[in-house]
Amino acid sequence: MATAGIVLLLTTFLMTEAIAGPRDQARRIHDRLAGVPPSPVVLDTMEDLVAGGQALDAAYLAMENRAFYDVTLKNFAAPWTNREESVFVPLNDYIATVIGMVRDDVPFNTLLSADILYVGDPSLGLPAWSMTNNNHYAAMETQGVNLRDALLQTTQSAMTDLPPGAPAGVMTTRAAAEAFFIAGTNRAMLRFTMMSHICRDLEQVADTSRSPDRIRQDVSRSPGGDSRVFLNNCVSCHAGMDPLSQAFAYYDWDETAGRLVYSPGQVRPKYFLNEDTFPFGFRTPDDRWDNYWREGQNALLGWDMQLPGGGYGAASLGQELGNSLAFAQCQVEKVFRAVCLRPPVDAADRSQVTAMVNSFRSNNFVMRQVFAEAAVFCMGD
């Protein structure tokens, strides 16, 4: 009898799971994308769309809810903008630019290279936009501004004193500069950009087989008196990282002024810190970068062979990163986690991720499509 009861219970449970019909699926799509329940009217429309085999359209409808922008996308991008990877930071220009690019279907592979910026609508009476503080963005949040409607697209070269060519997508936002150009040696900008947008920290790209010829003077060639440590450890990151982070040679964070500075033709003093550690090391002459990780194990990151693999300045480096397969995979995996509330685990998840990566790359890197596809995949059966 007891067994029969359990079987009955189990059957009922499985049936309830199985009969998650279009209405439940619609509700889940909405919850996952907007984080709030849909209005009855929206739910009805979404249910009809799901029932009619147009679940992607239902997802697009859910993304019209302002909470998709104010909450979901804000929380999605916030951790990329600080070293603690915290979601609890005020709105800033980096986050706003991500939100705007997603809203406007701006090809997301330009995230690290475009001359683009999003600011608040002037009619809102916000504090003036400034290179030296975050008040404009912080006020948007404290005033509960609807980010879906309030963000206007502009360019960094129009809003800042950066000359054309200097802007490099979100890497040259004030928030990124404050977090990653502050002090140090500008290697942090590369490290954190790779963590957030290639989904790999440096341990995961470490490769001792690359030439050490561009490793800067501050890296000891015999740490603790042992050159093997240099060859087996330090080289693995610095051989590839140092020639990439050279792209940022003219950028700095001015702590006193509270702003990004850019000095074309003049390598920042931080590139010569501890130059006496190994005087025969590489001395940065300009902002020439080269990607030593195109060969070796990091060829797996899927670099775009149409691009030259080297150049001058942050924007062309941003193109190199943004057009890699790893960049597209990283965006898709982050969306999958955010929408499905779990990482991809099994074979079905992995093939879904692959399909989404292909769709993302062949359809102009539209992020909303990635969100929609993830929401439909995880809407339940």
Give dist(CA 93, CA 89) in Å, integer: 12
Which residue among 203, 276, 346, 381 contacts ligand HEC (CB under 6 A)? 203
Give dist(CA 121, CA 284) in Å, integer: 41
Give dist(CA 76, CA 58) in Å, integer: 21
- The token pair at 351 is 């093939």
Which residue among 229, 231, 267, 325 contacts ligand HEC (CB under 6 A)? 229
Looking at beta carbons only, is 66 or 200 nearer to ligand HEC? 200
- The token pair at 259 is 């702003």
Look at the block and give the residue holding tokens 């330090």: 234
Look at the block and give the residue holding tokens 């610095």: 238
Q: Quick check: helix, strand or coil at residue 282?
A: strand
Q: In the complex, what is the shortest distance from the CB of residue 191 to ligand HEC, in angstroms, rounded to a whole number?
A: 4
Q: Of 30-38, 156-164, 232-240, 338-346, which segment contacts ligand HEC by CB under 6 A? A: 232-240
Q: Is residue 234 close enough to count as binding ligand HEC by CB under 6 A?
A: yes
- Rounded to the nearest 10 degrees, the angle between the axes of helix 22-34 and helix 55-62 is 40
- The token pair at 292 is 């030593």
Give dist(CA 320, CA 318) in Å, integer: 5
Which residue among 188, 199, 231, 325 contacts ligand HEC (CB under 6 A)? 188
Looking at beta carbons only, is 120 or 212 nearer to ligand HEC? 212
CA 83 to chain centre: 13
Looking at beta carbons only, is 184 or 285 nearer to ligand HEC? 184
Look at the block and give the residue holding tokens 């769309």: 49
Q: Of 134-142, 179-187, 251-259, 343-351, which segment contacts ligand HEC by CB under 6 A? A: 179-187
Q: Is residue 184 close enough to count as binding ligand HEC by CB under 6 A?
A: yes
Torsional sign, CA 336, 339, 345, 351: negative
Looking at beta carbons only, is 326 or 370 nearer to ligand HEC? 326
Looking at beta carbons only, is 25 or 81 nearer to ligand HEC? 81
Q: In the complex, what is the shortest distance from the CB of residue 111 to ligand HEC, in angstroms, rounded to a whole number?
A: 21
Q: Which residues contact 180 (CB under 8 A, 6 or more apart)?
A: 83, 171, 186, 188, 189, 192, 193
Residues in contact with ligand HEC, total (CB under 6 A)?
A: 18
The site map against ligand HEC for 205-224 (x = CB under 6 A) is -x-----------xxx--x-
Asked if 181 and 252 count as a contact pair (C-beta separation under 8 A), the reply is yes
Which residue among 75, 130, 153, 233 contacts ligand HEC (CB under 6 A)? 233
Which residue among 236, 284, 291, 331 contacts ligand HEC (CB under 6 A)? 236
Q: In the complex, what is the shortest distance from the CB of residue 334 to ligand HEC, in angstroms, rounded to a whole number?
A: 21
Please give the full DSSP string across 12-35, using - where no structure is assigned: HHHHHHHT--HHHHHHHHHHHHHS
Which residue among 82, 92, 134, 185 contacts ligand HEC (CB under 6 A)? 185
Q: What percent helix, strand, coil does the chain show, rounded to 5? A: 55, 5, 40
Give dist(CA 319, CA 114) in Å, integer: 9
Looking at beta carbons only, is 22 or 240 nearer to ligand HEC? 240
Look at the block and give the residue holding tokens 């001395």: 283
Q: Of 97-105, 198-206, 246-254, 364-372, which segment contacts ligand HEC by CB under 6 A? A: 198-206
Q: In the complex, what is the shortest distance from the CB of residue 218 to ligand HEC, in angstroms, rounded to a whole number?
A: 4
Looking at beta carbons only, is 59 or 235 nearer to ligand HEC? 235
> Could you list the residues that contact ligand HEC (CB under 6 A)?
184-185, 187-188, 191, 202-203, 206, 218-220, 223, 229, 233-234, 236-238
